[in-house]
Structure 1
Amino acid sequence: MSRDGAVPGSASLQLVAGTVLLRPQEQVADAMLDGWRNQQLARNLAFSTIEGRLNAVRTFSRHADAHPWEWTSKMVDDRLGDLRAVRHLKTVDSAQLR
């Protein structure tokens, strides 16, 4: 944690103070994912692991047509149900979410 109380990877460190966002929800979601990516890099995770996770989140966001803070457990259940019904998956990993 820095002296001002900001946690590494937090949105306040990803977004420039005082700027006006043209597409605030999309830009905040992108900044959240960038921060999450940086946190995973700091944990020394493999690039392929990080990219797979990011792709899974982006794919789910498109499927749900909602930003992460709008997601509900029903949306996740619906998506996993679709994957099981359409692709006949018994278990789902991030590569199969695409």
Structure 2
Amino acid sequence: MDGPDAPPGAMCLVVPGNVRALHPVAAMLDAMLTGWTRQQQSRLLGKTTITDQVSVVRRFARFKDVSVAVDRGGTLTGQTAAAP
């Protein structure tokens, strides 16, 4: 579901469909967190609560060096970087 019929927080509302990211993993994580932030705002959660929750997810992603791959069908597959 794309365009105006998409539910709040949908990827197509956060990232333009005609733009390719230089760093798709970082762009996907940012888009997901932006959508999640909007969903939390729509539930009238406090700004501090939202900021703290997003911060925890970002720190965990940095700690685990998590990357997300998207296949051509739009399916997300989680991957972690190999340990040196």
User: Which TM-score tier does this pair reach, normalised by the shorter chain?
Assistant: 0.7 to 0.9
The alignment of Structure 1 onto Structure 2 pairs a total of residues equal to 72
Cα distance in 2 for partners of 1:19, 1:58 equals 24
**Per-residue deviation at 1:70?**
2.2
**Per-residue deviation at 1:67?**
3.2
In the alignment, is the contact (CA less than 8 A) between 2:67 and 2:79 conserved in 1? yes
1:37 counterpart letter in structure 2: T
2:78 aligned residue: 70
Is the partner of 2:26 in helix, strand or coil?
Answer: helix
1:8 aligned residue: 8
RMSD: 2.4
Give 1 or 2: higher strand fraction.
2
1:38 aligned residue: 38
Structure 2 residue runs of 5 or longer lacking an equivalent are: 69-76
In the alignment, is the contact (CA less than 8 A) between 1:9 and 1:35 conserved in 2? yes
Give 1 or 2: higher helix fraction.
1
The percent of aligned pairs where both chains have the same amino acid is 35
Relative to the length of structure 2, the TM-score reads 0.73
Structure 1 residue runs of 5 or longer lacking an equivalent are: 73-98
Closer/same/farther in 2, CA of residues 32 and 61 from structure 1, 3 Å limit: same
In the alignment, is the contact (CA less than 8 A) between 2:2 and 2:12 conserved in 1? no
Cα distance in 2 for partners of 1:25, 1:3 equals 23
Relative to the length of structure 1, the TM-score reads 0.64
In the alignment, is the contact (CA less than 8 A) between 2:9 and 2:36 conserved in 1? yes
Bigger shift: residues 48-57 or 12-21: 12-21
CA shift digits 1:24-82 (9 cap, x unpaired): 1110110110000000001000011001100000000011110365279xxxxxxxxxx
In the alignment, is the contact (CA less than 8 A) between 1:21 and 1:27 conserved in 2? yes
Return structure 1 stretches of 4+ with deviation > 3 angstroms: 1-5
